[in-house]
Structures are given as structure tokens and as C-alpha cells.
Structure 1
Amino acid sequence: MSLTAESVWNNCLEFIKDNIQPQAYKTWFEPIIAVKLTENALSIQVPSKFFYEWLEEHYVKILKVALTKELGKNAKLVYIIKMENTYGNKQPFTEKIPSSNRTAVKSQDVDIPLNNKSPELRNPFVIPGIRNVKIESQLNPNYSFDNFLEGDSNRLARSAGLAVANKPGGTSFNPLLIFGGVGLGKTHLAHAIGVDIKDKYPEKTVLYISAEKFTQQYIDAIKKNNRNDFIHFYQIIDVLIIDDVQFLSGKSGTQDVFFHIFNHLHQNGKQVVLTSDKAPVDMQDIEQRLLSRFKWGLSAELQTPDFETRVSILKNKLYRDGVEMPEEIIDYVAKNIKTNVRELEGAIISLIAQSSFNKKEITLDLARIIVEKFVKNTKREVSIDYIQKVVSDYFQMDIDTLQSKTRKRHIVQARQLAMFFAKKFTKASLASIGSQIGKRDHATVLHACKTVDNLSSTDKQFRKYVEDITKKLSV
């Protein structure tokens, strides 16, 4: 049987899968596409320069072994990097060739030169009239890597954050975009990166700012005819950290000025860190040229912490506060509050406060009362699994049928509705929704959401499906 690129790569994957952790395999090997096989050289396509560098640094040995088993000792691996732009060049163990799909976007950039270095430079963070160009970082020193506990849900984002802190502007993670739902630690991690950089590189100018405040400063600059000063100020920053970048949605003027600032910083080797409640692919009303820049580096998702991580977070919090608590109570809180870290810590603070103010011993009964009140007052977060169950029950089918490959119209519609509601009721990325609902890709989920919107406005029966399921999910 003649060898093909796919068959060789599939055999390599079988070997790799048996020798690394499932999560690592899913993250670093599932996205790779086998492109072509020429004699003893296998070409594979990877999504970004960062992706390629990570493989070279962490999995080069296992790739060599797997490929040698398939193609012999003269085996070569050729990387095809499909991306929009790249800086620097690091040779892999064989060779790297750029993709013909890469587009040269730099020629379209418009940059405003940094030509205002006088002490008159206006700093939007100081009171007008006071001559002061010292830039305070606006960082919270309480947010550090030490108290940002690592788990499966945040390992990639935390590792990338540490890499950026060790070498700001000198890694492929530029920009580093950290995204995820409410209370999962995006702001904490963003501050931790800045705090660590200030500690290691005190001479660097680090600035943390929310996208909302950045927008307000820009509006003020326009009112005072200070637009250029505003841009110049941000162009002297070495590490710019912008929180909740999705707030720029629909604000074309602010997006435009941020585009120029971003280009200047990036082209001069400065570090940009962004946080968002959505992945770039899910952001609405953000200009395409800006979204493409968000994808230049790494987008790392923070997910809901698992039980073990939740227990570690609680123990760390108690240790820092000098409070002792029985294991069974910690376990009870961790089992019953699953949504996010903020609520988890809030519940334990409430428990300590109740015990302290009312001079009550911290018991399991007291924990039950606190947790019950806490959960009641917290908006329930609907999971993708729960949505699939509700939709399956509504159409009287099992979940396996809903997730199957069948093209029967009523099953396809049920699957599209599950995807639509997963996007509406959860913070999960399109890729994550597709993966959980029948292993589809993000484009399928996007198509499903558009189809549901269209049918809802044209088909009376379908509109009733949407209304009925919305009521069931909103209970």
C-alpha cells in the first residue's frame, strides 16, 4: 500500500497519543493537518509560529521518534505555518517553510512616529496642570503568580503569562490574549504578568488599564484636541496591559487609535497583553484588521476550574488569611460552588464572617446554610451538557442521536438549536461548543446560529421551538 501524508501522520499520532497526556495531545496535535509527503519528508500545517515553536521546544524528541518509525532514519519534518505575519526566525530540527497563504499586511499599516519626547508630554493619568510624566503602572501587587494557582483549566494561560513575564516582547506570545468567563482570573493573571515584569525589569514602563478607561481617556483627548499626545503617551509604554478589550466593540474611533498604538508597540518589540470574555473569533463589532492582530500571538482560554483546583484555591485562600478549616467543609464548598473562582472565594469569606461575627463554630451545617444562600443569590450558569439534555428531551431523542453525523432534517435542527443556545447561555468559545456538540468545528456552530436566527424570523413552528426551549433554560 502506498504511503500518503495522512496515513503517515495518523500512524505518528497513534504513537504520540500513547506517550503524552490526553490534554496535551488535544491542544498540540489535534489541530495539525498533514499536507504532503515527498520521499522521506512529511509536511504538516500548524496554526501559528507560536504553535511551531512550542512543538519544537517540548515535543521535538517524540516527533523524531514517531517519524523515524514511519519513514526511516532520514525522515524530515517540514512545518507549514499558516499565519498573517511573523517576526524573527528559529530553525527547527529539519526546516520550516512559510505558507503561501500568508498575507503581507505590514504595508497597509499606518504608524504615527514617536517624536514627542519633551517633558511637556501629557500623561492622561495625572491631574491636569501638574507637570509629571512619571507613569505609575496602575497594577495591584496583591495579584501575583504565587496566588494564581495552576490547574488543568488555566495551565496554558498561566505558562504563557510566565513566559511573557520572563521575556516581555521577546516571545511569540505577542499579543497574549487571555479570554474566559466571569470570575475565572483574567484580571488576576493580567496583573500578575505586570507585577512580575516590574519586579524583574524595574526599568521597563508597564501600564495596566481597562478598555473602558482607555476609551474614556481617548474621548477626553478628542475633546481637548490632544489626540496626538494621547497616542504618543501610549507609544512610550514597554508593556501595555488592556483589560476587557471586548469593551472596544462598536467604538470605531477608539479601535482606530488602538490599532495605531498596537502597531507601533508590536513593531518595536514592546509587549501587549489583552483580556477578553470572548475568543477573537466570537468578538462582535471589532474591526477585522484589529482582530487579525489579536491572532498574531497566542489566545489562551481560562476555563472553569475542576474540583481539585477549586480545593487548592480554597486552601490557599485560607492559608493566606491564617484561618484553619476542616477538610470536609472545604470539600463541601468546592463541590457545591462550581461556576468561578470569585464566587468560590466569596463563599468562604462569608463563612468566615458568619462564624466570626456570630461567634459560631465553623461546622458543616453552617457551611450548608451559607452555600445554599450563596447559590440561590447567584445566577445559575447553564452548561452545554444541560442544554443538550433539554433540547434532546424536547425533541424526544437521546443525546447520542443529537450529536450524530446524520443529516435528517429534524435532528440537524435540534443540533443547531443546541449550538445556538450554548452560544447564547454560556461563555464557551465557538470551537469549544462545536467540540462538545458532536465534535464539530467553530464554522459549523457559526452557521447553526445564523440558521436559527433566520428560521426564527421566517418559520412560525421553528420560532415556537426557540421560545419553548428558552423558557425551559431560563427556569
Structure 2
Amino acid sequence: MSVTAQSVWNNCLSFIKDNIQPQAYKTWFEPIVAVKLTDQALSIQVPSKFFYEWLEEHYVKILKVALTKELGEDAKLVYVIKMENTYGNKQPFTEKIPSTNRPAVKSQDVDIPLNNKSPELKNPFIIPGIRNVKIESQLNPNYNFENFLEGDSNRLARNAGIAVANKPGGTSFNPLLIFGGVGLGKTHLAHAIGVDIKDKYPEKTVLYISAEKFTQQYIDSVKKNNRNDFIHFYQIIDVLIIDDVQFFSGKSGTQDVFFHIFNHLHQNGKQVILTSDKAPVDMQDIEQRLLSRFKWGLSAELQTPDFETRVSILKNKLYRDGVEMPEDIIEYVAKNIKTNVRELEGAIISLIAQSSFNRKEITLSLAKDIVEKFVKNTKREVSIDYIQKVVSDYFQMDVSTLQSKTRKRHIVQARQLAMFFAKKYTKASLASIGSQIGKRDHATVLHACKTVDNLSSTDKQFRKYVEDLAKKLSL
């Protein structure tokens, strides 16, 4: 029986099928076509360059074993890449790439029948049945720079956003990663940048999407076997805004596809804007190569607004809603609701609603009632100051002792526990935790967290400290 490219490849597939997950086999090996066998070099056709990169990165070992088994130690693999050029020239083309770590095979004239029909570019945002090629930006025009008030807590991020909006893809802020806790305005600022770009550059394709929706679209594209259409769609975006990018944690397929999309956009001078509830250094289960891309541009933190900024936010909100309110009431609300902008605006809306529905005058007494109920009903966000106080009280020491430079064992352990719980219960970055707990650096906080984890599993008494404090802090 004569050995053909197909028979060799079929034998390789049998071996591969027995050694990987069925879904992975269906996704990454079924679409491959064996096209030519020359001596000990097998040429296989794959659907795209992305496909080839994935195989080389994830399955190169099993491919080498399977091929060596069939063709001997001198076996070589050549990829013939079929790519749909969707940006003008409608004819598909092929590219021959020898597999990495193997000698190149001189490309012969290979007559590979290719489908001349150019596939339609799939837009995940188009509703089926409606023939509409326009990509809607998914931006909310109510989120703009005018109502995103500047303060010490957000000055860097806001100014970087304005610079990006003036020159998308043309600044060193690419990507621009905006990070911070809940309700501090990350989504608002991301939309504001997109809205401003659309105003200044109407011809640019701007797209806002949550990381969760992006992931779902990717999963759907895998199921429908149109992954390449998904990638091509995102590669034509001029300004891509992805909200809550920490959602990619632990999702290796989504991270990989985003890595390729990101590289294409960045290399072509397109702008990428990301938001996250954590700084890149604090993100867990995100591949190192992707984290390094996040750090290429600027990471700007949104912090809790100070009292003056909170007063300005409330005044701006009241002005936009056409409501007048006495200065002492505005200041009372600003003093008592400190955690985030969303809660601040929520409290003022509740106050206006109570006043108008019950036909009551807005008084300081009414404001106290509303704020008290609002703070009680809103899930309390534990602050680093509160954690330090709870830990200090538990170990019967002052907060100043906890923060001191002393190396006494019981004080060091108390300080490490405060850092551990600050990382667990707050959205603050490691650097921010360190600076607030005795002016330490982020490496000290990281070491403290590891020490607490280790001691919890080996020291019974220490484990009791952790359990007692966890109960106190979760009340």
C-alpha cells in the first residue's frame, strides 16, 4: 500500500485523538487538511496564521511525536496557511511556514485547491436577519468628560483619557488601563474617551464591550466554528474599549484570542482602552505575556474621591438635575458617604425622591435619616483604616504600633495580618496597601500575604487569629 499525505496524517490523527480532549481535537485538528508528502516532509493546510500559532504553542510536542512515529527521526512538518484577506483583495492566499525548531523545507509549486468564495465578515453585534454592516459603538453618550469631574483622586486617569481622545493610537498611552475599586468611575471614563473620539473622528470605528460579553462571543464563535471571523471582526476596530478585563482571569482561550487581537491592533496603531478593578501586578490567573502587554502603555488608578471632590460631584449632579439644596446638607452627605461616587449619587437621588414623593422640605434631619438608612442598606466596603483598627484592637496595641518599624514578632505578625486582610477585602493595589500600612512597598505586602497563607496551614494558633479576624471583618 502506497504511503500518501492523507494516510500519514490519518495515522497521526489517530494517535493525537487518543491523547487529547475530544473538544480540543474537534476544534484544532479536524479542520486541518493534509496536502502533500515529499520525502519525510508532510505539508498540512491550516485555516489561519492564528491557528498555526496556536498549534505551535500548545500542540507542537504531540505533533512531533506523532510525525516521528510515522516518518522517522528526520520528519518535518510544513504549514500551508490559508488566510482570508478581508481588507480589499478578495482572493484567498497561502503562506508556507516550516514548523519551528525544524529545518525549513523548500516550497515546491503546490497546487492546493482553495475556495475562491470570500466569506462575509461576521459582526457579533449584528442582529440575525438584519443586513446591517455598520458597527455600533455601544457607547453611552451620557457618560462624557463634562460630567466626569476632576479631582486629586482621578487627575492622572482623566488627563490621560483626554490625551487619548485627542490622538487615539498616537500617544504612549496605548493601551490605557484604568483601574480602581467599585463605583469610582472606570466605566464612565472609558465611555467618555470613546464618546469624545467619535465626536472628533467620526470616521473611526469605536467599540465598547464588557470582558464578559467578549468572552461569550468567543465561546459562541468556537461552537459555530467561525473563530476566524470573530478575530477578523475585532482586528478592524480602530478604538477597542474592554470593560472589566479582570474577567479574563483563568480563561486561557479568551486570553489567547485577545492576545492576538491586541497585538494586531497595537502594531497597526489602533487604540486599546481597558478597565479593571485591579492593577496589573495584582491580577491573578492572567498569562504573563498578556500582563506584559497591559503594562506597555499607562496604568492609571482611580482612587476614592476626597471631601472637596465629593462636594463638587454632588453640586454638579444637582445642577444637572435642576435641583437646589442647602450647602450644609450637601456637605453632610459628602462627609458621611466616602466609599464611592455611585453611592454618593445614589444617596442624593434618594434624598430628592423622598422630598418630592412625601412633599417634605429637604432638611438636615431628613438627610441624616436617608444617609443612615442608605449606609446601613449598602454593603459596607471595608477600608484599610478599619482593618488596621480591628487588627490593632484584637492584638491590644495602637495602630501607630502596628505601623511602626519594630521587628518584634507579635507586631510583625499583626502587621502582616492587616496587609493580608487589606488585600482580601479591599480593591486597593499592593502598593496602596503598603503605603497605608507603615509606608511599605508592594513586595512587602506580597511577602506578608504568602507568610499568612503558610502560617495558617502550619500553625494552629495563627490559624485561630485568621479565623477570629475574618469573623470580625465580615460582620
With structure 1 as the length reference, what TM-score do the two structures score? 0.75
Q: Could you report, residue by residue, the CA deviation over 1:424-468 in whole angstroms, capped at 9, with x for unpaired residues? A: 111100010111112211111111111101111111000111111
How far apart, CA to CA, are the structure 2 residues paired with 1:333 and 1:124?
44
Structure 2 residue aligned with 1:37: 37
| 1:122 and 1:230 in contact (8 A); partners too | yes
Structure 1 residue aligned with 2:273: 273
How far apart, CA to CA, are the structure 1 residues paired with 2:431 and 2:6?
23
Sort the Cα spacing of 1:105 and 1:457 in 2 relative to 1 into closer, same or farther, 3 A. farther
Sort the Cα spacing of 1:36 and 1:354 in 2 relative to 1 into closer, same or farther, 3 A. farther
How far apart, CA to CA, are the structure 1 residues paired with 2:155 and 2:320?
22
How far apart, CA to CA, are the structure 1 residues paired with 2:82 and 2:400?
34
Partner secondary structure for residue 18 of structure 1: helix
Moved more, 238-247 or 383-392: 383-392
| 2:388 and 2:418 in contact (8 A); partners too | yes
Deviation at 1:406, TM superposition (A): 2.6
Sort the Cα spacing of 1:251 and 1:13 in 2 relative to 1 into closer, same or farther, 3 A. closer
Structure 2 residue aligned with 1:455: 455
Q: Could you report, residue by residue, the CA deviation over 1:151-196 in whole angstroms, capped at 9, with x for unpaired residues? A: 0000010010000000100111100000001100000000000000
How far apart, CA to CA, are the structure 2 residues paired with 1:122 and 1:243?
22
Structure 2 residue aligned with 1:285: 285
Question: Gaps spanning 5+ residues in structure 1: where?
Answer: none
Deviation at 1:88, TM superposition (A): 28
Sort the Cα spacing of 1:174 and 1:69 in 2 relative to 1 into closer, same or farther, 3 A. farther
Q: Could you report, residue by residue, the CA deviation over 1:115-167 in whole angstroms, capped at 9, with x for unpaired residues? A: 99978211000122433221110000000000000000000100100000001
Moved more, 384-393 or 354-363: 384-393
Q: Could you report, residue by residue, the CA deviation over 1:405-427 in whole angstroms, capped at 9, with x for unpaired residues? A: 23222221111111001111111
Partner secondary structure for residue 93 of structure 2: coil
| 2:81 and 2:95 in contact (8 A); partners too | no
How far apart, CA to CA, are the structure 1 residues paired with 2:60 and 2:159?
19
Sort the Cα spacing of 1:152 and 1:118 in 2 relative to 1 into closer, same or farther, 3 A. farther
| 2:76 and 2:99 in contact (8 A); partners too | no
Q: Rg larger in 1 or in 2?
A: 2
Moved more, 251-260 or 432-441: 432-441
Moved more, 1-10 or 144-153: 1-10
Moved more, 430-439 or 138-147: 430-439
| 1:49 and 1:172 in contact (8 A); partners too | no
Q: Could you report, residue by residue, the CA deviation over 1:17-39 in whole angstroms, capped at 9, with x for unpaired residues? A: 99999999999999999999999
Partner secondary structure for residue 43 of structure 1: strand
Partner secondary structure for residue 146 of structure 2: coil
Q: Could you report, residue by residue, the CA deviation over 1:87-138 in whole angstroms, capped at 9, with x for unpaired residues? A: 9999999999999999999999999999999782110001224332211100
Structure 2 residue aligned with 1:114: 114
Q: Could you report, residue by residue, the CA deviation over 1:45-102 in whole angstroms, capped at 9, with x for unpaired residues? A: 9999999999999999999999999999999999999999999999999999999999
Sort the Cα spacing of 1:248 and 1:306 in 2 relative to 1 into closer, same or farther, 3 A. same
| 2:83 and 2:93 in contact (8 A); partners too | no
| 1:153 and 1:305 in contact (8 A); partners too | yes
Sort the Cα spacing of 1:100 and 1:15 in 2 relative to 1 into closer, same or farther, 3 A. closer
Moved more, 375-384 or 155-164: 375-384
Q: Could you report, residue by residue, the CA deviation over 1:356-408 in whole angstroms, capped at 9, with x for unpaired residues? A: 11111111111111111101101122211221122122222222322222322
Sort the Cα spacing of 1:247 and 1:74 in 2 relative to 1 into closer, same or farther, 3 A. closer
Structure 1 residue aligned with 2:68: 68
Percent identity of equivalent pairs: 93
How far apart, CA to CA, are the structure 1 residues paired with 2:425 and 2:149?
27
How far apart, CA to CA, are the structure 2 residues paired with 1:115 and 1:344?
59
Q: Could you report, residue by residue, the CA deviation over 1:252-310 in whole angstroms, capped at 9, with x for unpaired residues? A: 10010000000000011100000000001111111111001000001100011111101
Sort the Cα spacing of 1:349 and 1:282 in 2 relative to 1 into closer, same or farther, 3 A. same
Moved more, 404-413 or 148-157: 404-413
Tell whether 2:373 aligns with 1:373: yes
| 1:243 and 1:274 in contact (8 A); partners too | yes
Sort the Cα spacing of 1:134 and 1:472 in 2 relative to 1 into closer, same or farther, 3 A. same
Question: Gaps spanning 5+ residues in structure 2: where?
Answer: none
Partner secondary structure for residue 64 of structure 1: helix
Sort the Cα spacing of 1:38 and 1:145 in 2 relative to 1 into closer, same or farther, 3 A. farther
| 2:244 and 2:275 in contact (8 A); partners too | yes
Q: Number of aligned pairs? A: 475
| 1:83 and 1:296 in contact (8 A); partners too | no
Partner secondary structure for residue 435 of structure 2: helix
